[in-house]
């Protein structure tokens, strides 16, 4: 039962910490049992190390699980059967047979390992949530401290329950799984520029500082031993102490990351301490190995050559590790260059290659941490450029998640391990001496090195920096894992070392960092967020400095960086970057980014899009104008037969209810965003659907810009407003009403046309809401517009080029007697493609001719109302040829020259606005020039309407207003 004592031979000794606690558990009260069961599960080896089937044959310490009596027999240990060893399975099989067929079976042994891992992660995560419930609490106590405390509590519970620590941090688990996740995250997101800018300092602290710490601590401890401060029981020689010094002296990346990120030290300080903690891995590994071999050989047999071998080993381990990392970085970059078709596995490549870099380095016993770090640093630039935005996000979040959870586990395990008394032996002398020496030497080392470094550094490290650095020299899980790895046979004092390491780790993490002093120091110091990007400005500075270095003939840092950048640009990037990325301008990227951010921020602010002005204006206007419209109708009725067709339309002017609906529709269509699709029409394992979010961002941006344009324009034309007469206001309100009536007519047509005629992705906008209007409007208007259109397509060429302005402005409603001048989709399509352009040109020329003149003579108010009714509106849309408008207007070949046309249109529009300031101003909110192609359709539609009246057949009527 007590498997730990008789492990299967195949198990590596360090896996023996696996535990089965059920025996004792079963003796306890059932309530307690439940609790303990949970705890026990947690403590069972959490991660992959267990997958090998680390378990011993398990006689079946039947925990008659109180929670699940009906769950069938308690075969092979409902509690914790550790694996499905052959014996166990046999047993199980027998029992199953014996019991006959069971409806429900207790398959704990089957799911055990992943189950425990999952539970473990769950508890760790929940613990994190709980810690962060209280803001004030977490600002006072670092999270890592809380996790260690939690670990202590959990460990204590288990200890009470089983009289024996069941689990402690397993070195192989730590080094193969937990550490790489943290280092990988750190390396990949390392601010490379900052790292290399401070490389000199980092290397100094990492190499010189660590060596200094290791030797001083080792020798001092030995001296303390000789002086009798350390108890006699600690059987350790000089070599043992040096070994211990080596492993205890290294600053630990896990702890540094955990604590420094939490307290937000300034970026330079962070990168120096963190970089040190990464790079000193090589030093620690080498020292550790060298000492181990020395201890094995025996100090007496060490020859001078061995010391040199040690130095050589250091170089090989560090440089070799770096090279392995860089090689993998290149491979990774190269692979991601070709993942365009399989975007979905891009993140996987990143994780795999980075992890492989770590494992490969470990394979050759090189510095794995260095390897992984440099793989991350090196590949980041190319990978980030190659992979899609989504993959980038995936990589980022996955790495952060993994690192965070690994860190949590490490700290909890540290706490748990500390409780196991059997693993360590206490010696006050050793512990206190170590603590004192570590802090003293760290402080001395930092001050000394900083003093030297400050003579070379452009930005000197000031006193507070030094204090933080001395304080921040955190020892952590790496040291602990290393000390656990020690061979108790050779290092007699291992247990003492373990105890000391635990204390040191706890002390450094909890007291040092939790110290209010550090908090105060740091908070009063600098809290700049990590600045990872290189702005255009700093690029300019780089170039300036490089140029000056070149002129001065110095082969300095900037010179070499420039050389590297040239090399990178000429060779590496060509090799590792996609062609499309390679050519992409950075400025463009930045511009895009800024735009998107802008758009999002506007939306976050609640959007000035939905202003009260826009909401109220149309509806008020239309309400006021309703009687006006009727007047117009009457007027039209009185005047000639040509109106008939139009009269239908006007008679059909919907009731106020419908009108309100339409207003609502417009407001909504103008301000709401396209509904998100809930369902994907198809599912593919290999491709991600097009980003809903991206589309939304774009939409947000476009709307934002549009509304800005509107406000800009309306302010611009405010002055004109005052010049207008009251009458005009009325007319305008008519106008608005009409707009609101007619606008939706066109809209419904858009979607189909959009898709049919244009490939422009943006055209897909406004599919959703616009359909609302269709019900209300389409039926009335469509039929009428079709015949009109037919007319149009034939009439334009023979246009008389000088119709009075008022006439030319007459829209479908206003064009008295004009045989239905509307253009419909179907109609315009009839125009041959090659003629289209000519037609457009003729229209635009007409436009320019017709627009300037205004009705000179005083007109009958109604007539002017009439003319204005149509006039301004089409004009504001005089997109010559309404380029790019897909729907109602001449929809055919314009897509190609749509953009210039739009510009032109704006120009024309501006001219018009000078002429009809009020009108256009009122128009703005409803139809701004910036509308998306889809939304611009109305203009096209109307535009063709405008141009029609002058057409031959309509001429007699069109002149009428002026004659009046």
Partner 1 sequence: MGSRASTLLREEEIEEIKKETGFSHSQITRLYSRFTSLDKGENGTLSREDFQRIPELAINPLGDRIINAFFPEGEDQVNFKGFMRTLAHFRPIEDNEKNKNLPASEPLNSRTNKLLFAFRLYDLDRDNKISRDELLQVLEKVDVEQKMSIRFLH
Indicate whether 552 belongs to the interface with partner 1 (CB under 8 A). Answer: yes
Q: Which of 83, 165, 204, 546 binds partner 1 (CB under 8 A)?
A: 546
Q: Which stretch binds partner 1 (CB under 8 A): 93-101, 354-362, 541-549, 891-899?
A: 541-549
Site track 396-435 with partner 1 (rule: CB under 8 A), x = hit? x---------------------------------------
Cβ 844 vs Cβ 920: under 8 Å: no
Indicate whether 275 belongs to the interface with partner 1 (CB under 8 A). Answer: no
Q: Which of 340, 543, 597, 718 binds partner 1 (CB under 8 A)?
A: 543
Q: Which of 84, 193, 519, 720 binds partner 1 (CB under 8 A)?
A: 193
Q: Smallest distance from the beta carbon of 546 to partner 1, in angstroms?
A: 6
Angle at 154 between CA 149 and CA 159, to 5 degrees: 120
User: Whole-angstrom Cα distance, residue 762 to residue 27?
Assistant: 70
Q: Smallest distance from the beta carbon of 263 to partner 1, in angstroms?
A: 21
Q: Which of 197, 550, 598, 911 binds partner 1 (CB under 8 A)?
A: 550
User: Whole-angstrom Cα distance, residue 690 to residue 696?
Assistant: 11
Q: Which stretch binds partner 1 (CB under 8 A): 131-139, 276-284, 575-583, 788-796?
A: 575-583
CB-neighbour burial class of residue 350 (10 A; exposed 0-12, middle 13-18, buried 19+): buried
Give the number of residues written for the chain.
964
Q: Smallest distance from the beta carbon of 48 to partner 1, in angstroms?
A: 29
Give me the residue label for tokens 């352009």: 837
Q: Smallest distance from the beta carbon of 385 to partner 1, in angstroms?
A: 5
Q: Smallest distance from the beta carbon of 453 to partner 1, in angstroms?
A: 14
User: Whole-angstrom Cα distance, residue 624 to residue 630?
Assistant: 12
Indicate whether 752 belongs to the interface with partner 1 (CB under 8 A). Answer: no
User: Whole-angstrom Cα distance, residue 411 to residue 248?
Assistant: 17
Give me the residue label for tokens 């550490």: 179
Q: Smallest distance from the beta carbon of 708 to partner 1, in angstroms?
A: 20
From residue 809, give the alpha-carbon distance in Å to each of 287, 887, 949: 90, 21, 8
User: Whole-angstrom Cα distance, residue 743 to residue 618?
Assistant: 12
User: Whole-angstrom Cα distance, residue 500 to residue 663?
Assistant: 77
What is the number of helices (H) and of strands (E) in the chain?
47, 0
**Between residues 195 and 496, which has the closer beta carbon with respect to partner 1?**
195
**Between residues 307 and 541, which has the closer beta carbon with respect to partner 1?**
541
User: Whole-angstrom Cα distance, residue 627 to residue 869?
Assistant: 14
CB-neighbour burial class of residue 155 (10 A; exposed 0-12, middle 13-18, buried 19+): buried
Site track 456-485 with partner 1 (rule: CB under 8 A), x = hit? --x-x-------------------------
Q: Which residues does 680 contact at the CB level (< 8 Å), separation at least 6?
A: 689
**Between residues 544 and 613, which has the closer beta carbon with respect to partner 1?**
544
Nearest to 23 by CA among 35, 40, 7: 40
Q: Which stretch binds partner 1 (CB under 8 A): 421-429, 477-485, 566-574, 604-612?
A: 566-574
User: Whole-angstrom Cα distance, residue 200 to residue 803?
Assistant: 81
Angle at 474 between CA 468 and CA 476, to 5 degrees: 165
Cβ 706 vs Cβ 670: under 8 Å: no
880 secondary structure, DSSP code: G
Indicate whether 561 belongs to the interface with partner 1 (CB under 8 A). Answer: no
Cβ 188 vs Cβ 354: under 8 Å: yes
Q: Which stretch binds partner 1 (CB under 8 A): 430-438, 559-567, 722-730, 950-958?
A: 559-567
Q: Smallest distance from the beta carbon of 393 to partner 1, in angstroms?
A: 9
Q: Smallest distance from the beta carbon of 373 to partner 1, in angstroms?
A: 15
Q: Smallest distance from the beta carbon of 553 to partner 1, in angstroms?
A: 4
Q: Which of 89, 107, 568, 826 binds partner 1 (CB under 8 A)?
A: 568
User: Whole-angstrom Cα distance, residue 630 to residue 745?
Assistant: 20
Indicate whether 200 belongs to the interface with partner 1 (CB under 8 A). Answer: no
Indicate whether 539 belongs to the interface with partner 1 (CB under 8 A). Answer: yes
User: Whole-angstrom Cα distance, residue 635 to residue 699?
Assistant: 43
Q: Which of 67, 566, 601, 616 binds partner 1 (CB under 8 A)?
A: 566
Residues 577-606 that bind partner 1 (CB under 8 A): 581-587, 589
Q: Which of 311, 363, 517, 534 binds partner 1 (CB under 8 A)?
A: 534
Indicate whether 385 belongs to the interface with partner 1 (CB under 8 A). Answer: yes
Indicate whether 562 belongs to the interface with partner 1 (CB under 8 A). Answer: yes
Q: Which of 6, 533, 637, 676 binds partner 1 (CB under 8 A)?
A: 533
**Binding-site size, partner 1 (CB under 8 A):** 44
Indicate whether 718 belongs to the interface with partner 1 (CB under 8 A). Answer: no
Residues 162-191 that bind partner 1 (CB under 8 A): 189, 191
CB-neighbour burial class of residue 896 (10 A; exposed 0-12, middle 13-18, buried 19+): exposed
Indicate whether 447 belongs to the interface with partner 1 (CB under 8 A). Answer: no
Indicate whether 529 belongs to the interface with partner 1 (CB under 8 A). Answer: no
Cβ 122 vs Cβ 388: under 8 Å: no
Q: Smallest distance from the beta carbon of 539 to partner 1, in angstroms?
A: 6
Indicate whether 145 belongs to the interface with partner 1 (CB under 8 A). Answer: no
User: Whole-angstrom Cα distance, residue 907 to residue 930?
Assistant: 13
345 secondary structure, DSSP code: G
Q: Which stretch binds partner 1 (CB under 8 A): 519-527, 529-537, 700-708, 807-815?
A: 529-537
Q: Which stretch binds partner 1 (CB under 8 A): 214-222, 246-254, 497-505, 542-550?
A: 542-550
User: Whole-angstrom Cα distance, residue 867 to residue 961?
Assistant: 8
Q: Smallest distance from the beta carbon of 540 to partner 1, in angstroms?
A: 5
**Between residues 9 and 458, which has the closer beta carbon with respect to partner 1?**
458
Q: Smallest distance from the beta carbon of 542 to partner 1, in angstroms?
A: 9
**Between residues 32 and 534, which has the closer beta carbon with respect to partner 1?**
534
User: Whole-angstrom Cα distance, residue 395 to residue 379?
Assistant: 13
Q: Smallest distance from the beta carbon of 543 to partner 1, in angstroms?
A: 4
User: Whole-angstrom Cα distance, residue 435 to residue 424?
Assistant: 17
**Between residues 393 and 907, which has the closer beta carbon with respect to partner 1?**
393
**What is the sign of the dihedral through the CA atoms of 24, 30, 32 and 35?**
positive
Please give the distance of CA 670 from its chain centroid, rounded to a whole number.
Answer: 29
Q: Which of 172, 266, 365, 573 binds partner 1 (CB under 8 A)?
A: 573
Dihedral (Cα; 545, 550, 552, 553), 10-degree rounding: 140
Q: Which residues bind partner 1 (CB under 8 A)?
A: 189, 191-193, 380-381, 384-385, 392, 396, 458, 460, 532-534, 536, 539-541, 543-548, 550-553, 559, 562, 565-566, 568-569, 573, 581-587, 589
């Amino acid at each position: 039962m007590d498997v730990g004592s008789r492990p299967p031979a195949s198990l590596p000794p360090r896996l023996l910490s696996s535990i089965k606690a059920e025996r004792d558990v079963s003796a306890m009260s059932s309530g307690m049992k439940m609790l303990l069961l949970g705890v026990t599960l947690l403590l069972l080896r959490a991660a992959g190390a267990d997958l090998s089937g680390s378990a011993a044959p398990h006689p079946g310490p039947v925990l008659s699980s109180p929670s699940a009596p009906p769950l069938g027999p308690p075969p092979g240990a409902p509690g914790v059967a550790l694996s499905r060893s052959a014996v166990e399975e046999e047993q199980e099989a027998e029992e199953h047979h014996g019991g006959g067929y069971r409806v429900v079976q207790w398959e704990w042994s089957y799911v055990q390992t992943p189950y425990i891992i999952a539970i473990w992660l769950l508890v760790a995560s929940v613990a994190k949530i709980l810690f962060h419930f209280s803001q004030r609490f977490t600002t006072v106590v670092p999270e890592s401290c809380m996790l260690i405390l939690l670990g202590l509590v959990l460990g204590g519970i288990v200890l009470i329950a089983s009289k024996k620590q069941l689990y402690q941090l397993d070195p192989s688990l730590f080094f193969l799984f937990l550490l790489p996740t943290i280092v990988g995250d750190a390396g990949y997101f390392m601010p490379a520029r900052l790292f290399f800018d401070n490389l000199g300092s980092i290397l100094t602290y990492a190499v010189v500082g660590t060596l200094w710490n290791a030797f001083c601590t080792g020798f001092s401890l030995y001296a303390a031993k000789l002086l009798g401060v350390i108890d006699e029981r600690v059987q350790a020689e000089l070599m043992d102490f040096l070994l211990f010094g080596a492993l205890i002296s290294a600053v630990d990346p896990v702890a540094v990351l955990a604590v420094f990120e939490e307290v937000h030290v300034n970026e330079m300080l962070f990168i120096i301490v963190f970089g040190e903690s990464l790079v000193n891995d090589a030093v620690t590994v080498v020292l550790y190995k060298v000492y181990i071999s020395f201890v094995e050989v025996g100090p007496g047999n060490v020859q001078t050559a061995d010391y040199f071998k040690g130095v050589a080993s250091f170089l090989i381990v560090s440089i070799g590790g770096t090279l392995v990392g860089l090689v993998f970085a290149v491979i990774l970059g190269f692979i991601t260059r070709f993942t365009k078709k399989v975007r979905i596995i891009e993140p996987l490549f990143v994780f795999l290659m980075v992890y492989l870099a770590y494992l490969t380095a470990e394979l050759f016993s090189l510095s794995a941490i260095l390897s992984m770090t440099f793989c991350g640093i090196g590949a980041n630039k190319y990978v980030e450029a190659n992979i899609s935005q989504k993959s980038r996000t995936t990589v980022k979040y996955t790495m952060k998640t993994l690192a965070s959870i690994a860190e949590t586990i490490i700290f909890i395990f540290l706490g748990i391990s500390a409780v196991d008394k059997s693993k360590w032996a206490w010696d006050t002398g050793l512990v206190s001496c170590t603590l004192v020496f570590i802090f003293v030497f760290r402080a001395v080392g930092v001050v000394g090195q900083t003093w030297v470094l400050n003579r070379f550094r452009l930005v000197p490290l000031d006193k507070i920096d030094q204090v933080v650095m001395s304080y921040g020299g955190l020892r952590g899980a790496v040291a602990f894992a290393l000390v656990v790895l020690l061979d108790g046979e050779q290092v007699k004092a291992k247990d003492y070392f373990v105890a000391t390491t635990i204390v040191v780790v706890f002390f450094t993490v909890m007291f040092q960092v939790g110290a209010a002093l550090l908090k105060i120091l740091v908070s009063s110091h600098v809290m700049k967020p990590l600045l990872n990007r290189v702005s255009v400005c700093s690029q300019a500075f780089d170039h300036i400095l490089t140029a000056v270095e070149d002129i001065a003939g110095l082969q300095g840092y900037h010179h070499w960086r420039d050389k590297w950048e040239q090399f990178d640009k000429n060779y590496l990037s060509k090799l590792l970057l996609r062609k499309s990325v390679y050519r992409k301008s950075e400025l463009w990227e930045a511009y895009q980014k800024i735009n998107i951010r802008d758009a999002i921020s506007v939306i976050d602010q609640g959007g000035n899009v939905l202003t009260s002005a826009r909401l109220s204006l149309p509806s008020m206007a239309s309400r006021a104008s309703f009687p006006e419209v009727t007047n117009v109708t009457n007027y039209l009725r009185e005047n000639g037969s040509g109106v008939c067709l139009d009269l239908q339309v006007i008679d059909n002017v919907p009731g106020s209810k419908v009108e309100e609906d339409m207003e609502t529709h417009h407001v909504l269509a103008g301000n709401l965003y396209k509904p998100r699709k809930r369902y994907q029409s198809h599912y593919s394992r290999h491709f991600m659907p097009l980003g809903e979010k991206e589309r939304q961002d774009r939409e947000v941006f476009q709307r934002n810009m549009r509304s800005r344009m509107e406000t800009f324009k309306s302010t611009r034309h405010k002055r004109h407003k005052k010049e207008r007469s009251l009458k005009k206001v009325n007319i305008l309100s008519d106008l608005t009403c009409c707009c609101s009536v007619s606008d939706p007519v066109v809209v419904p047509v858009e979607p189909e046309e959009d898709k049919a005629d244009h490939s422009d992705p943006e055209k897909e906008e406004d599919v959703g809401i616009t359909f609302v209007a269709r019900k209300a409007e389409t039926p009335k208007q469509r039929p009428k517009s079709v015949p009109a259109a037919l007319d149009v397509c034939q009439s334009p060429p023979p246009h008389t080029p000088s119709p009075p302005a008022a006439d030319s402005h007459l829209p479908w409603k206003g064009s008295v007697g004009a045989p239905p001048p509307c253009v419909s989709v179907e109609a315009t399509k009839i125009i041959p493609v090659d003629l289209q352009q000519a037609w457009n040109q003729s229209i635009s020329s007409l436009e320019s001719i017709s627009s300037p003149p205004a009705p000179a003579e005083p007109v009958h108010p109604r007539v002017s109302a009439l003319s204005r009714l149509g006039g301004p509106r089409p004009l504001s849309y005089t997109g010559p040829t309404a380029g790019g408008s897909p729907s109602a207007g001449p929809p055919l070949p314009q897509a190609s020259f749509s953009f210039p046309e739009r510009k032109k249109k704006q120009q024309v529009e501006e001219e018009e606005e000078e002429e009809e300031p009020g009108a256009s101003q009122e128009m703005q909110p409803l139809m701004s020039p910036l509308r998306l192609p889809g939304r611009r359709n109305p203009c096209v539609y109307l535009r063709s309407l405008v141009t029609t009246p002058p057409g031959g057949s309509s001429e007699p009527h069109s002149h009428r207003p002026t004659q009046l």
